[in-house]
Amino acid sequence: MRQFFRTIGTGFVLAWKKETNWTGAWVYLPFLLLRPLAGAMLIYVMVRAASAPPAYFAPAYIGNAFFQLVPAVLGGLSWAVLEDRERYQMFKYVYLAPGHVAPYLLGHGLSRAVQSLLGVAVLMLAGIAFLHIRVPSFHPALFAAALALGIASFLFLGLALAGCSLLLARHGHFMTESIGGVFFLFSGAVFPLEILPLWLRPFAWASPATWWLEALRRSLGLSFGSSLAGFSDAAILAILAGFTIACAALGFAGYAAGERRARWKGLLDATTAM
């Protein structure tokens, strides 16, 4: 376990340096925050244009802010495979190094999560300062548990996608972007689940992002629709914990399957020009 967490730390540091070494902090931070701030302003304009009730804006804004973590974490692990293999051509050396590649990739995803959390913090501060968002209450234990379980779930799902990326060409990052869009649709990030047709709602209930965002909103004293109102806070956390365990099993199994297939096809050190 000590080696496992040490490898995660190594992956985290390397990912952070790869993301930030192209410029100084005063250039990188605005660049990091530009996309989430633009997305938040888009939500604000949409709510104003649709004349939505005032109680709708705060849950939608917060859902959009925290959802930034989902594509960042999911794509962080896959992008680590594609970048190390295609751009730096170092993945084969990482694979041959002591330890296992999986925790190294988890460190990359965790680095993306921390960077996205900086964006979430700025979005929340901007919403409170300029858009007059008010949080009715704050439950720190529920918030911390929900945030940790959600990030863990998406890290493990990203590990499964990294296993798939071992078999794809350099344009494989489109896979994670597409999956992130599916999560956005079926998570209730910016609209209540009741808006979905009845036959689509089971897809939302089968998404860990749905329960994660619901737990985060409840930790801030907010509600968004009535679909999950019958569940207690403890039930929401228990379901989210169950999803985390399932995602962990799927993540390690999916990566192991992709790695075996890539080894058999000789793709661990392959570079593509497609």
pLDDT digits (tens, 9 = 90+) for 48-76: 777 777 788 889 899 989 998 999 998 88
Q: Report pLDDT digits (tens) over 181-234.
A: 889 999 999 889 999 999 999 999 999 999 999 999 999 999 888 889 899 999
Q: What is the mean pLDDT of the chain?
A: 88
What percentage of the chain has pLDDT greater than the value 70? Answer: 97
pLDDT band at 267 (very low <50, low <70, confident <90, very high): confident
How confident is the model at residue 41, as a pLDDT?
A: 81
Ranked by mean pLDDT, the top range of 11-20, 77-86, 189-198, 235-244 is: 235-244
How confident is the model over 100-108, as a mean pLDDT?
A: 92
| Cα separation, 269 vs 85, whole angstroms | 6
Share of the chain above pLDDT 90, in %: 44
Confidence band (pLDDT; 50, 70, 90) for 85? confident
Q: Token pair for residue 167?
A: 């078999």
d(CA 209, CA 159) in angstroms, rounded, equals 16
Between 31 and 146, whose confidence is greater?
Answer: 146
Q: What is the pLDDT of residues 147-185, one digit of tens each?
A: 999 999 999 999 999 999 888 876 666 777 788 888 999
Most confident of 71-75, 114-118, 187-191, 244-248: 244-248
Q: What is the pLDDT of residue 173?
A: 65
What's the predicted TM-score (pTM) here? 0.90
